[in-house]
Amino acid sequence: MEPQYEFGEFVVTTDAAWLDEDLIHKVLSTGYWAEGIPREVVARSIRNSLGFGVFEGAKQVGFARVISDYATFAYLADVFIIESRRGRGLAEFLMKCIFRHPELQGLRRWMLVTRDAHGLYAQFGFRPLAHPERFMELQTPNVYKT
């Protein structure tokens, strides 16, 4: 059975059968970090990572996914709460659920990239890179534009 966490009328689950891929695609494809991402790429990303859905009843209102080897490393990606449900503590609750997940314990390193949510992630111990000179990236910024 997949872990499920409750917060008032909201539930966070990792049960992939609950996830609304149409909603996830709609939000991601209009967000600054994945603008124009194709639906099939979103579906593949969900299949190949650990997804966390935030639900109000049967309606999905938030999402995050973790890409991990479940031993030493995790990358947090695609975190969102739909606009109409923001300001209720759901992002913080979602982050708590992610860090409680039994398969994500004892990891040596977590990473993420954000433009505007530093305050949220700082609450959970994320900091700017201690040694940015050691990190490298290969980026294809227009990969979703045809």
User: The pTM is what?
Assistant: 0.93
Tell me what pLDDT residue 4 has.
83
Whether 42 is in a domain gets the answer yes
Whether 123 is in a domain gets the answer yes
Whether 142 is in a domain gets the answer no
Tell me what pLDDT residue 142 has.
83
- In three-state secondary structure terms, 10 is strand
- In three-state secondary structure terms, 76 is strand
Domain that holds residue 110: 4-134
Whether 146 is in a domain gets the answer no
Angle, in degrees to the nearest 10, between helices 39-47 and 21-30 = 120
Whether 145 is in a domain gets the answer no
> Which CATH number belongs to the domain containing residue 14 in this structure?
3.40.630.30
Tell me what pLDDT residue 1 has.
61
13's tokens: 């689950």
Tell me what pLDDT residue 141 has.
82
Question: Which of 23, 8, 19 has its CA nearest to residue 83?
Answer: 23
Number of domains in the chain: 1
DSSP 40: H
Whether 75 is in a domain gets the answer yes
Radius of gyration of the chain measured on its C-alpha atoms: 15
Whether 53 is in a domain gets the answer yes
pLDDT, one tens digit for every residue, the chain (146 residues): 677 888 989 999 999 999 999 999 999 999 999 999 999 999 999 999 999 999 999 999 999 999 999 999 999 999 999 999 999 999 999 999 999 999 999 999 999 999 999 999 999 999 999 999 999 999 988 888 76
Whether 102 is in a domain gets the answer yes
112's tokens: 């993420």
Residue where the block lists tokens 């990358």: 75
Tell me what pLDDT residue 145 has.
79
